[in-house]
Amino acid sequence: MAMAGSAIGLGNIWRFPYIVGENGGAAFILVYVFCCLFLSVPIFLAESVIGRRSGANCRGAMEKLAPGSGWKWFGYLSVFTPMLILSYYSVIGGWSLNYLWKGMTLSFVRSGTEAVGELFGGFISSTWAPLLFHTLFLLMTLLVILGGVRSGIEKFSKLCIPLLFVLIVAIAIYSVSLPGAKTGINYLIRPDFSKLTARSCIDALGQSFYSLSLGMGIIITYSSYISKKENLFAAGLGTAVSDLMFAILAGFAIMPAVFAAGIAPGAGPGLIFETLPFIFAKMGVTMPWLSSIVAILFFLTVLFAALTSSVSLMEVGVAYLVEEKKMKRPLAALTVFAATWAVGAVCSLSFGPLSGVKIFGNDIFSAVDLFCSNVLLTVGGFLCVVFVGWKMKKEDVRDEFTNGGTKRLNGKWFPFVYFLTRYAAPIAVGIIFIANFL
């Protein structure tokens, strides 16, 4: 559940719909499913093998499995990446918290359809409000982390994940029943392969990395807590399938509403924050209460999904500081909190007072996002499969994957999964990495 909680996040609700929108719909989803099952699942399994075999955080895992080697840098990278991601992830987490607040205070209904579009731009470009909500969101994350692995992360995920599925199904039912939703449904189920480009395939793989929390040590860290009896293959497939199902449900919750509102599906990162409030405002003219309830449910879903993921991002750094630097858990958590808060604050301000600051032509937020998703995640994922496919002994990998040979079905799948890990995944990820710079 915690792994599913890490996977299901803003990547599914906020990023997936707009990436699908930018890449033409159903055909892209098919490529995405393929990438997820045949490339991302093997990487997920490689990370779980490293985590459970070593029983340690990312840096410690490299010391145990490849002592004294240069692989320690892979360990450091896997600790650093999630902290950097958390810093800007919590800015968007803060936006969802603010939108939940807006839903509760009937802001969408009161703004009306004409003014609701300005809410988003006005909010993110201001100084204090986004900072405040970024801080609140990170504090919520900290609270769960302080609860510990069992009573914090595990309990929270067990409660949230089933709730998330119920909420997203309810919103999808509402969305597909809107007048004008049919075009949106067709967009998601009728593939038009003429819209597919090489870039779409790169985006599909990148998105499946992002969505499954790969290439950044999260799965290594969580797997280090998994018991030796647990079936890694089942856990990996279970996580991938629930993540996929959730992304597709989120597509059905958002795309029909986007088309019903007459908004372009390729509107980019602001998609859910700009289009859904428009629907809520429109509905609010005749049914203000129902509109507010749906708005609250929707942003509550976004918030919980974001929290179960941000917790996993924070845990990587905390596990490192506790196990390697022998810090007490609360101090470790506060240290990660302070560092990510500071970087996140700069990212948040880059939509307002710091909007003039550019890094290679991008504002600070986009530069950090691009650097993380296109460079750090791909390098991390690549090194991970190379480590398991080429550095670890095949017998050790098989032993971990099959629980010492006791899981016979896993044994049957092993040659295929190992082939994907050793050849297909590193080649595909390598191509994606190079293509990013073309």
- Is 311 within 8 Å of 145 (Cβ atoms)? yes
What gap in Å lies between CA 281 and CA 273, rounded to an integer? 13
Specify the DSSP element, H or E, that contains 363.
strand 362-363
Q: Which amino acid is at 230?
A: E
Q: What backbone torsions phi and psi does residue 231 show, to the nearest 5 degrees?
A: -90, 110
Task: Specify the stretch interacting with ligand PFF by CB under 6 A; choose among 1-9, 21-29, 35-43, 356-364.
Answer: 1-9
Nearest approach, Cβ of 308 to ligand PFF (angstroms)?
9
Instruction: Using CB under 6 A, pick the residue from 10, 65, 140, 429 that binds ligand PFF.
Output: 10
Task: Specify the stretch interacting with ligand PFF by CB under 6 A; choose among 32-40, 208-216, 337-345, 425-433.
Answer: 208-216
Q: Is 380 in the site for ligand PFF (CB under 6 A)?
A: no
Q: Is 301 in the site for ligand PFF (CB under 6 A)?
A: no
What gap in Å lies between CA 237 and CA 42, rounded to an integer? 10
Q: Could you give the maximum distance between any two Cα atoms of the chain, in Å? A: 68
Instruction: Using CB under 6 A, pick the residue from 32, 123, 187, 210 that binds ligand PFF.
Output: 210
Q: What backbone torsions phi and psi does residue 362 show, to the nearest 5 degrees?
A: -110, 155
With CB under 6 A as the rule, give the number of residues binding ligand PFF: 16
**Of 11 and 94, which has the nearer Cβ to ligand PFF?**
11
Q: Is 27 in the site for ligand PFF (CB under 6 A)?
A: no
DSSP secondary structure letter of residue 226 = S
- Strands 358-359 and 362-363, bridge-based pairing: antiparallel
Q: Is 309 in the site for ligand PFF (CB under 6 A)?
A: yes
Instruction: Using CB under 6 A, pick the residue from 213, 223, 291, 421 that binds ligand PFF.
Output: 213
Look-up: residue for tokens 């006005």?
A: 122
Q: Is 85 in the site for ligand PFF (CB under 6 A)?
A: yes
Nearest approach, Cβ of 373 to ligand PFF (angstroms)?
6
Q: Is 78 in the site for ligand PFF (CB under 6 A)?
A: no
Specify the DSSP element, H or E, that contains 188.
helix 182-189
Nearest approach, Cβ of 141 to ligand PFF (angstroms)?
12
Which residues share a beta bridge with 362?
Answer: 359
Sorted by sequence, the CB contacts under 8 Å of residue 110 that are 6+ apart come out as: none
Residue 34: C-alpha distances to residues 201, 204, 302, 377 (Å): 10, 9, 26, 19
What gap in Å lies between CA 345 and CA 340, rounded to an integer? 8
Q: Which of 140, 178, 134 is nearest to 156 (CA)?
A: 140
Nearest approach, Cβ of 183 to ligand PFF (angstroms)?
27
What gap in Å lies between CA 326 and CA 332, rounded to an integer? 9
Instruction: Using CB under 6 A, pick the residue from 3, 7, 153, 281 that binds ligand PFF.
Output: 7
Task: Specify the stretch interacting with ligand PFF by CB under 6 A; choose among 37-45, 207-215, 228-236, 279-287.
Answer: 207-215
**Of 56 and 214, which has the nearer Cβ to ligand PFF?**
214
Q: Is 402 in the site for ligand PFF (CB under 6 A)?
A: no
**Of 116 and 276, which has the nearer Cβ to ligand PFF?**
276
Query: According to CB under 6 A, which residues from 100 to 159 bind ligand PFF?
Result: none
Per-residue contact flags (x/-) with ligand PFF for residues 346 to 375, judged by CB under 6 A: --------------------------xx--
Nearest approach, Cβ of 275 to ligand PFF (angstroms)?
19
Q: What backbone torsions phi and psi does residue 359 show, to the nearest 5 degrees?
A: -120, 115
What gap in Å lies between CA 253 and CA 379, rounded to an integer? 33
Nearest approach, Cβ of 243 to ligand PFF (angstroms)?
8
Q: Is 268 helix (H, G, I), strand (E, B) or coil?
A: coil
Q: Is 91 in the site for ligand PFF (CB under 6 A)?
A: no
Q: Is 9 in the site for ligand PFF (CB under 6 A)?
A: yes
Q: Which residues bind ligand PFF (CB under 6 A)?
A: 6-7, 9-12, 85, 89, 210-211, 213, 216, 309, 372-373, 377
